[in-house]
Amino acid sequence: MYVELPFEELKPDTRKRRVAYFYDQDVGNYFYGTGHCMKPHRIRMTHSLIMNYELYKKMEIYRAKPATNLELTQFHTDEYIDFIDRVTPDNLQLFEREQIIFNVGDDCPVFDGLGEFCKISCGGSMEGAARLNNGSADIAINYAGGLHHAKKSEASGFCYLNDIVLGIIELLRVHPRVLYIDTDVHHGDGVEEAFYTNDRVMTCSFHKFGEFFPGTGNLNDIGIGKGKYYAVNVPLRDGIDDASYKSIFEPIIAAIVDWYQPSAIVLQCGGDSLSGDRLGPFNLSMRGHANCVNFVRSLGIPMMVVGGGGYTIRNVARTWAFETGICNGAILPKELPYNGYYEYYAPLYELDVRSSNMNNANSREYLDKILTQVISNLDHTKHAPSVQMNEVPVGMDLDEDLEEDLPESLDTKGGSQRARDKLVEAEGEFYDADEKEFGATNISNGYSLSESEKAEIEELNKQIV
């Protein structure tokens, strides 16, 4: 069943997609602590590359409204949110019990501005989802998101709040079925757990398995109850290269999309699956990693791209910038433009992250076994082919919201995108009042479907065998 596909030059899908990119200039200032390998600064480095490659000419740039405590409790417990909101390095001694309960400490330290950082991360994914919901964007990007290990009331693996789960909850207001794909080197356990008994979200994680954090994500973990067969795990060994990854990723995702027919996809682009990562043992080049983005984009389904891990930060910035190009249907040239962090890219000052000559411990037999098992699991629950995606209910305020992106309305917001982005970069004051309202309105309504939406989704669900 497994056929190794040659890894050739990436061919971008050039069909036009409206891309909404979320960035908050404060995000790079948060600091996990000396010696901690999670560095939010990489998001600022990514942004600098994106701007200097002039991708602002191709997409809309937004600063999301930070999520509110109330919005965060759509997934997390009140007690946990209250703790994250209040705890600081200075008052830590008041929370001795909570630190243990909520697993805050070494891996997940309390740092200055922790609550704000989490709210920026979650706000971007929630507003990104809201933009996909109302049809004003085809692709939403939030590199401050992707924090897939966070649990309902527990921090884990450098993640505190799960922006992905919150974004998916927002998508579920409109979309009957959402597919979550995780290409981080670590298992996407927090997202899987949140939807493990749910058939409206299918999770699919590709990750290193075997004596590796967080230890979950075995091939046999496929969901339970109503969610049985709606969790897919692809456990991989060290050193997987571009060709092997492509050859397992593409047929699995194609099969899932074929029978599950999601109407929205969330793609977690953790950069720790790149070759040379400080923590990850995979051997993907930038292009091998970006092939996942290109492949998912080519499916033509509304998609949210979020960040995730990634600990050799110059390579994370390179790859996420390149992937932003892919989202916009462009292949960025190899020569790096001058940018605010140019010295990080010495000595070659090139965009590419290359593979190394490390051994690939994933034999063809091993990958064949995985692929066969995954496809066989999917086969158990094939949907009726009659499910038509054009019956998916669309957002309620579609017409009103679409007006926002007409050229005339853009003009009234202060001229060109470049001018607007300068506002973001200069003062961080780029909030369009209307957009803020629109995102806030959608999100604060919470996860509640109207009666007509419920009826439509029920009708769709009846068609599912």
Q: Smallest gap, in angstroms, from Cβ of residue 124 to Zn ion?
A: 18
Query: Is 90 labeled as ligand-binding?
Result: no
Closest CA relative to residue 131, chosen from 444, 435, 447, 453: 435
Residue closest to Zn ion (Cβ): 309
In this complex, which beta carbon is closest to Zn ion, that of residue 177 or of residue 186?
186
Q: What is the maximal distance between C-alpha atoms in the chain?
A: 60
Query: Is 272 labeled as ligand-binding?
Result: yes
Active-site residue, from 149, 175, 187, 289: 149
Residues that bind Zn ion (CB under 5 A): 184, 186, 270, 272, 309
In this complex, which beta carbon is closest to Zn ion, that of residue 223 or of residue 271?
271
Q: Smallest gap, in angstroms, from Cβ of residue 270 to Zn ion?
A: 5
Q: Are 149 and 158 in contact (CB under 8 A)?
A: yes
Query: Is 13 labeled as ligand-binding?
Result: no
Query: Is 157 labeled as ligand-binding?
Result: yes
* Residue reference for tokens 């086969």: 379
Q: Smallest gap, in angstroms, from Cβ of residue 413 to Zn ion?
A: 37
Residue 339: CB partners within 8 Å, gap ≥ 6? 48, 49, 51, 52
Residue 457: CB partners within 8 Å, gap ≥ 6? 176, 393, 449
C-alpha distance from residue 28 to each of 42, 43, 46, 47, 110 (Å): 7, 6, 10, 10, 17
In this complex, which beta carbon is closest to Zn ion, that of residue 314 or of residue 413?
314
Distance of alpha carbon 6 from its chain centroid, rounded?
27
Query: Is 401 labeled as ligand-binding?
Result: no
Alpha-carbon distance of 270 to 261, in angstroms, equals 24
In this complex, which beta carbon is closest to Zn ion, that of residue 232 or of residue 255?
232
Give catalytic status of residue 149 as yes or no: yes
Judged by phi (left if over 0) then psi (alpha if -120 to 50, else beta), residue 19 lies in: beta
Residue 58: CB partners within 8 Å, gap ≥ 6? 19, 328, 329, 330
Q: Smallest gap, in angstroms, from Cβ of residue 184 to Zn ion?
A: 4
In this complex, which beta carbon is closest to Zn ion, that of residue 63 or of residue 149?
149
Exposure of 350 in the CB half-sphere (CA atoms within 13 A): 7
Q: Smallest gap, in angstroms, from Cβ of residue 80 to Zn ion?
A: 22
Annotated binding site for substrate, which residues?
107, 157, 311
Annotated binding site, which residues?
107, 157, 184, 186, 272, 311
Annotated binding site for a divalent metal cation, which residues?
184, 186, 272
Residues with catalytic roles: 149
